[in-house]
Amino acid sequence: MTRAYFGTDGIRGRANTHPMTAELALRLGAAVGRYFAQGAAPGHRVVIGKDTRRSGYMLENALTAGLTSVGANVLLLGPVPTPAVGMLTRSMRAALGVMLSASHNPYHDNGIKFFGPDGFKLSDAAEADIEALLDELPALAPPEEIGRATRIEGDRARYVEIAKRTLPGDQRLSGLKIVVDCAHGAAYKTAPEVLWELGAEVISIGVSPDGYNINRDCGSTDTAAAAARVVAEGADLGIALDGDADRVMILDETGTVCDGDQLMALIAGLWADQGRLSAGTLVATVMSNLGLERYLSGRGLTLRRTQVGDRYVVEAMRKGGFNLGGEQSGHIVMTDYVTTGDGLIAALQFLSAMVATGQPASALSRTFQPVPQLLKNVRYDRNRRPLESDSVRAAIEAAEAELAASGRLLIRKSGTEPLIRVMGEAEDEALLAKVVEGLADDIARAGAG
């Protein structure tokens, strides 16, 4: 079944514009509540977390109304990281977890992500079944069975303790000076708290959310402020999270960025040395650098690729019994600890390596030599289909032929925005720029309104 609302990571869009409206959230709450009521005890639990966007209040209330109308009891967590919702859904024996966030997008967007009772994000099939229920009249609960909503306390403390326990018991971060940029988002309290309680000297930025400044000039997608602060403070490390804290970028002591590929390479190598890397395999997406694949192969390890989206990484991990995966963008999934990407816990793995080896961040953040990679995001008119244009198809075929001998080309539509991502890799940087920029121009012309 074709999904009309769900993309690569739940439902996402501009707040108060279809589909991200209170009206749809109300219907969606009733539909998903009905779906997860199957086989659940009456008055089943649903946990709802959110990031710091102003529109989160609207969506939270609408979802709560829909869920309680079909008999679900709602536990409101307030602002918490996305991985905390997955974690708490399972630990609190809830039938469903909901996270309201548009991740790294600006404040004017929002999204709705669902977690099943096992703490993992829903499959495509489950999302299609829920969409089908949107067109049906909900089976409303009788008055005596309407659910209740409760705002709970202590959920943040649970997550803090679980995050801290991912370090070996005898490890501390004493003596380390760390800049943490929380993107004015969901981890603005938890991330500094975890690092400080582990003994670090913590310099926090991006911890003053006002409902509108989430991800603005900060966080994992804009690391300039964090990098400058690392250098100015003489810090040992910078940690830049995104709005819902499921992705991270590490900054070494010079302010240089270590992306998700380098972080995965480091963790995979360390876990392999410790006998912890399941089946000697790392799961990553088609976007991950060819240099990562070469590094793993040289270590006798395997890279298994999936389509883009941390949900698909997790699905492959669960199917194959693997315990480490992620994306170049900084989603790092470690199923020994959590059920989805967790930026803070991934950063703690890096810090653990620093403590264990005594090496600076700059030495640990360059595990492999990346193949030159270029990514162009091409925005297009929603009413046009540039990838179906004969001229664009011919341009893609020609570009693939040019790179065939020395690299690769990947073209994909974003699942959350009207963007087409053109990514190429090649040892010859001049050829790479020529091919990718030329193809991006061709797509832009075909997609113009």
| Annotated catalytic residue 288 | no
Among candidate residues 367, 392, 368, the one with its CA nearest the CA of residue 443: 392
Cis peptide before 19 (omega within 30 of 0): yes
Q: Are 270 and 296 in contact (CB under 8 A)?
A: no
Find the helix or strand (DSSP H, E) in which 100 lies. strand 96-100
Report yes or no: 185 and 209 within 8 Å, Cβ to Cβ: yes
Q: What is the dihedral of CA 380, 385, 388, 389, to 10 degrees?
A: -70
Options 103, 220, 288, 365, the catalytic residue: 103
Count the Cβ atoms, other than its own, within 10 Å of residue 35: 19
| Alpha-carbon gap, residue 189 to 191, rounded angstroms | 6
In DSSP terms, which residues pair with 325 in a beta bridge?
283, 333
Task: Please give, one letter per residue, the 3-state secondary structure of 208-251.
Answer: CCCCCCCCCCCCCCCCHHHHHHHHHHCCCEEEEECCCCCCEEEE
Distance CA 325, CA 175 (A): 30
Catalogue the active-site residues.
103
